[in-house]
Amino acid sequence: MTTSGKTILLGILAGIFMLSGCSTAYYAAMEKFGKEKRHLLKDNVEDVKESQTEAQEEFKDALTRIKELYAFEGGDLETFYNKLKDSYEDCDSRASQIEKRINAVETVAADLFSEWEGEILEIKDARFKSSSKKSLADARIRYKKLELAMAKSTQKMYPVLEKLKDYVLYLKHNLNAKAVGTLGNEVVSIESDVAVLVRDMNRSIQEADKFINSF
């Protein structure tokens, strides 16, 4: 089987088992492909990182649409509305994807650490046991930093999404110069929110890189 074919198959298996809620069967299937829980955790963290990188650009694009309205001096308002609507829908869809991927990270991390604890109990050699306990403690500390960074950046998405939705609906109901002027006055507010969101996503991405490289 080619590498791309194997990747597709792994994705299909992940979807099937996660939807069915059968994590034991999922992990067993992944192990047959050489994917232990630690590999799955790193892969899932990579997925979150990828989604957040895409989200940064999509939220910036939405801000650009608002700025275009601010500079509006005549033209087809329907076109501006459709662009803003598309940007909002892209951001909303990406936010849902990020949340699902973070949930996958949290599930695998909890299962991995639980398994790790249980296996430590099976180690008879005192030195090995002590070393494994330290490795587990260190991994948990690194993961906690990542978890907090992911949660913080995720929380910052929703106020921005709420504002974008308000703008889209308001413009939908008021396709006129007055509506454009009203939304134009909101540029500074949403620009600040997007800047904070992008900053926090960058921190989350950096923590993801640290975790992947050290785990």
Angle between the N-to-C axes of helices 126-173 and 77-122, in degrees from 0 to 180, rounded to the nearest 10: 170
SS3 2: coil
pTM, 2 dp = 0.84
User: CA-based Rg of the chain, rounded to a whole angstrom?
Assistant: 22
Residue appearing with tokens 């929110």: 193
Contacts of 33 (CB under 8 A, 6+ apart): 6, 9, 10
Contacts of 2 (CB under 8 A, 6+ apart): none
Give the pLDDT of the chain (215 residues) as one tens digit per residue. Answer: 454 444 444 455 555 455 445 678 888 888 888 889 999 999 999 999 999 999 999 999 999 888 887 776 666 788 888 999 999 999 999 999 999 999 999 999 999 999 999 999 999 999 999 999 999 999 999 999 999 999 999 999 999 999 999 989 988 888 777 777 777 777 778 889 999 999 999 999 999 999 999 98
